[in-house]
Structure 1
Amino acid sequence: MEITKRLLFLDDIRYPHEVYRYTKQDIFLRNDWHIVRNYEEFVTRITEKGLPKWISFDHDLADEHYLKPDSLDYTEKTGYECAKWLIEYCLENHVDLPEFYCHSMNPVGKENILRLLENFKLKNE
């Protein structure tokens, strides 16, 4: 699989420069981000273009995640499902996980995404 040079930003409403305001991570000031807003766009982008060099994840990707934060009964898939799909993609295509960051403001969702990806990375080094 070809690795694209772009950075991939998964977030339903924000833009990278907005995330810089609270993360202070300079990478969010770059202008070569490709933005995807939901699970389907995330999967399609990687399937069609290959892995990006870097991915930044949001967890809550729909209004229902904000309206029912304690519910596990979502119809819209979260950033966590995107991270799980990414691991399967890497395994099936024998490629390394790209660099990643989680800019989510949902502390539990953020921790879950990072733990999942970091554990996978450790097991495959």
Structure 2
Amino acid sequence: MTKLFLDDLRTHNMVYAEPAAVAFVVVRSYAEFVKYIEENGLPYFISSDNDLGLDENGEVAPDGYAAAKWLVYESGLDLRNLKFKVHSANPAAAAQIRGVLNITSGSLSKEIVKLYHSDPQASGEDFRDENSYGNF
């Protein structure tokens, strides 16, 4: 089972003690994250940072929150069994990522995705549960 690690600087060995660090696929950007999942399907487990540095133009790169929103609202994948951990040092951003990924559990996820697609201004943030820590 594949584990995906999204972080622009750290390695999985810096976040996880062995043997959990074995078998992670490391992606360094939002674009690599999307490409990996589009080409290989949904991994068993995702570990995500939020702040992903600068892009090739020196602008702030799309972050882990953008990756989580893509996964929930645009990928079309069934995320009900996804396990994840947010390893960001940014507590507010970590809560946002956990919030958007936590809405995928159960039947609520299909209703929220329908709402999101029917209202282009919707962000999903109203459904955030900042006290939740994912399915790790």
The TM-score normalised by the length of structure 2 is 0.68
Q: How far apart are residue 19 of structure 1 and its match?
A: 1.0
Q: Which residue is 1:87 aligned to?
A: 72
Q: How far apart are residue 27 of structure 1 and its match?
A: 7.2
Counterpart residue type for residue 47 of structure 1 = E
Matches of 2:43 and 2:20 in 1, distance apart? 17
Matches within 5 A, 1:29-48: 29-48=20-39
Matches of 1:28 and 1:84 in 2, distance apart? 30
Q: Which residue is 1:96 aligned to?
A: 79
Q: How far apart are residue 31 of structure 1 and its match?
A: 1.3
Q: Which residue is 2:61 aligned to?
A: 76
Kindly tell me: are residues 120 and 96 of structure 1, through their superposed partners in 2, closer, same or farther at Cα, counting changes over 3 Å?
closer
Matches of 1:62 and 1:28 in 2, distance apart? 28
Counterpart residue type for residue 45 of structure 1 = Y
Q: Quote the sequence identity (%).
A: 35
Secondary structure of the residue that 1:124 maps to in structure 2? Answer: helix
Verify the 8 A CA contact 1:10 1:57 in the aligned structure 2: yes
Q: How far apart are residue 116 of structure 1 and its match?
A: 1.2
Verify the 8 A CA contact 2:7 2:26 in the aligned structure 1: yes
Structure 1 runs (4+) deviating above 2 angstroms are: 26-30, 119-122
Kindly tell me: are residues 106 and 29 of structure 1, through their superposed partners in 2, closer, same or farther at Cα, counting changes over 3 Å?
same
The size of the alignment, in residue pairs, is 105
Matches of 2:68 and 2:18 in 1, distance apart? 20
Kindly tell me: are residues 28 and 76 of structure 1, through their superposed partners in 2, closer, same or farther at Cα, counting changes over 3 Å?
farther
Matches within 5 A, 1:1-125: 5-20=1-16, 29-63=20-54, 75-90=60-75, 92-93=76-77, 95-97=78-80, 98-122=82-106, 123-124=108-109
Q: What RMSD over aligned residues (CA atoms) do the two structures have, in Å?
A: 2.3
Residue deviations 1:85-122, cap 9 Å, x none? 011245x24x2342111000011110110011112325
The TM-score normalised by the length of structure 1 is 0.74
Q: How far apart are residue 83 of structure 1 and its match?
A: 0.1
Unaligned runs of 5+ in 1: 21-25, 65-73
Which structure is richer in relative contact order (CA contacts within 8 A, separation 6 or more)? 1
